[in-house]
């Protein structure tokens, strides 16, 4: 096992411990657990199969992996932002949701698309350098 993999595992387990300890302070633990379970079901039943299907049908060649990854990230970000995106209007207390969350969600979607485009461009450049001139 490489050092990087071991270090990543230790960091991941540490962050899981932090998350579990934060759950101990939650007042509505059953509600949070239902929400977390719903997020897992949403991802496993809807987002992941839909991304795999889109990647299989629409994307061909070496770009399939990065496009699927970008779609998974976009889907996960959307699932997390869904409660804020679907809220019925301005909250009674303006300090509860003080930012423009739909705009910020859109910025994250653009960032995911931009990073994916740069990754695909870098792959294309790297592949073109490997090919011998004809």
pLDDT bin (cut points 50, 70, 90) of residue 109 is very high
Residue 114 in this model has a pLDDT that exceeds 80: yes
61-88: burial string, b at 16+ Cβ within 10 Å, e else: eeeeebbbbbbbbbbbeebebeeeeeee
Q: What is the mean pLDDT of residues 73-86?
A: 83
Backbone angles phi, psi at 64, to 5 degrees: -60, -45
pTM of the model: 0.60
DSSP assignment letter at 61: G
Residue 127 has pLDDT above 80, yes or no: no
pLDDT band at 78 (very low <50, low <70, confident <90, very high): confident
92, pLDDT greater than 80? no
Residue 6 banded pLDDT, cuts 50, 70, 90:
very high
pLDDT of 88 over the 80 cut: no
The pLDDT confidence band at residue 87, using thresholds 50, 70 and 90, is confident
pLDDT at residue 94 above 70?
A: no
Tens of pLDDT, residues 9-35 = 999 999 999 988 888 888 888 888 888
Residue 96, pLDDT score: 67
Q: Which two tokens stand for residue 84?
A: 């804020």
């Amino acid at each position: 096992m490489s050092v990087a993999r071991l270090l990543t595992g230790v960091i991941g387990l540490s962050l899981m411990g932090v998350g579990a300890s934060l759950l101990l302070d939650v007042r509505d633990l059953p509600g949070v657990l239902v929400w977390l379970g719903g997020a897992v079901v949403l991802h496993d039943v809807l987002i992941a199969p839909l991304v795999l299907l889109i990647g299989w049908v629409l994307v061909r060649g070496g770009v399939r992996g990065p496009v699927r990854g970008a779609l998974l990230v976009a889907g996960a970000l959307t699932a997390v932002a869904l409660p804020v995106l679907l809220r019925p209007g301005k909250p009674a207390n303006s300090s509860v949701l003080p930012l423009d969350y739909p705009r910020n969600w859109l910025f994250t979607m653009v960032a995911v698309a931009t990073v994916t485009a740069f990754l695909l461009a870098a792959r294309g450049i790297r592949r073109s350098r490997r090919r011998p001139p004809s």
